[in-house]
Structure 1
Amino acid sequence: MRESKGDEEDFINEVANINRTSHVKVVNLLGFCFNGLKRALIYEFMSNGSLKKIIYKNKPLETSSSLP
């Protein structure tokens, strides 16, 4: 993750919310770490690649936040 300006408590709360998400089509959060302003989320390995790779296979990444 890029360096964040939020405090540690906000980060921990967000991690807790992400960790409660459980669905067969969503990769699981395995862990996290933070050191000052540097934070990282660790997810399970996706052997077939990411959804972003499949969606934008033949076109450049767009900044839209919704799927067509």
Structure 2
Amino acid sequence: MSNDEGQYLIFLKYQREYLSQVTGYSKGYLSRVATGAKPPSEVFIGVCCHTLKEPQEELFKLVEPQPAALLSAQ
């Protein structure tokens, strides 16, 4: 995955600082997954789903990136 394909919904719903605290994963790892530099591991996905009590299909859904013009209009 690269940034132009979208971003996982989990990183739009939760701040990396919070995710690091509740999952025990480093902010560095979370940043690499969020930016698409590294795919999320199955263990990471499982920990997130269990800890946040949300299904994988929801947390790890890819969201299309929005053009900057649309973001500033919201």
- Determine which structure has more spread, i.e. the larger CA radius of gyration: 1
Pick 1 or 2: higher relative contact order, CA cutoff 8 A, min separation 6.
2
Greater helix share, structure number: 2
TM over 0.5: no
With the length of structure 2 as denominator, give the TM-score of the two structures: 0.25
The structure with more strand, counted as a fraction of residues: 1
